[in-house]
Amino acid sequence: MDWYREVYRDRSSYGLRVRERLFDGRSDLQRVEVIDTLAWGRVLVIDGIFMTSERDEHYYHELLVHPALVSAPSVARVLIIGGGDGGTAREVLRHPDVDRCLLVEIDPLVVETSRRFLPTIGTAWDDRRLEVRIGDGVAHVHETDERYDVVILDGTDPVGPGEGLFDERFYRGVARVLAPGGVLAAQTESPILTEELFFDIQATLRRVFRRVHPCFGPVPLYSAGLWSYTLAGAEVDPARIDTKRLAAIEPSCKHYSAEIHRAAFAMPAAVRRRLPVPDLPTR
């Protein structure tokens, strides 16, 4: 057995003990690998950075998806940008009120590799409500005539193919395709390891959307530990929970619950000092 070491921006290194290297390929956009590890099971790696693992992926995917889908006025039409491992689509399609889910992934190799080597993560590929479209999510939000109740941004870090998913022009495109009352849910990096990037994203979102609410949770695979997700929209209120939708999915969740939902929107003190406190009504 050997070790796979992720080196993040020449600042930190995190290693996993490898049982077997299952796949190593390169698309026109990036290098895609799957390794089988002692600690985390099978792990998807993109350009040398750990993306998700069999053992801990639920922490990420459940908190990215469910706060938006239990607080949006409607969830009939959902757009996922990125998410080629299938985990976000799986969580979206747990909701029986979802009629259609479009997943736009820029790199077909990520989808092909995940379907082959990570079947426990992407369990909803054959759901009739899911459409997978290989293409540029940035272009899609500027060109489509469709409107969505929820848009979920499940992208990589803002480098390479993921670079355009974090700028103001992209967020304005998302705002354009949101239906009235629609909600954006985005992974918004770590307030610890990528502190300034996190605050830059929050500032950009606040220039586009009237209401912006970050939430926080663990992703053990990521060396940063604490990760952030953000809900944004004209009217989004994470304190307004649809209890029927929550009850439909909570029994199948491994991490997310009503208690986790409430706790996730509590800001760490250092973040609170730098961000306006959301005006959340007590319910």
For the annotated catalytic residues, the residue numbers are 154
Cβ-based neighbour number of residue 109 at 10 Å = 20
Residues recorded for the chain: 283
Rounded Cα–Cα distance for residues 37 and 264 (Å):
29
Q: In degrees rounded to 5, what are phi and psi of residue 109? A: -65, -35
Residue 14 CB-density burial (10 A; 0-12 exposed, 13-18 middle, 19+ buried) = middle
Residue 186's nearest CA partner among 82, 107, 264 is 82
Rounded Cα–Cα distance for residues 6 and 222 (Å):
10
Lateral strand order in the sheet of 41-46: 2-8, 12-26, 31-37, 41-46, 49-53
CB 34 within 8 A of CB 115: no
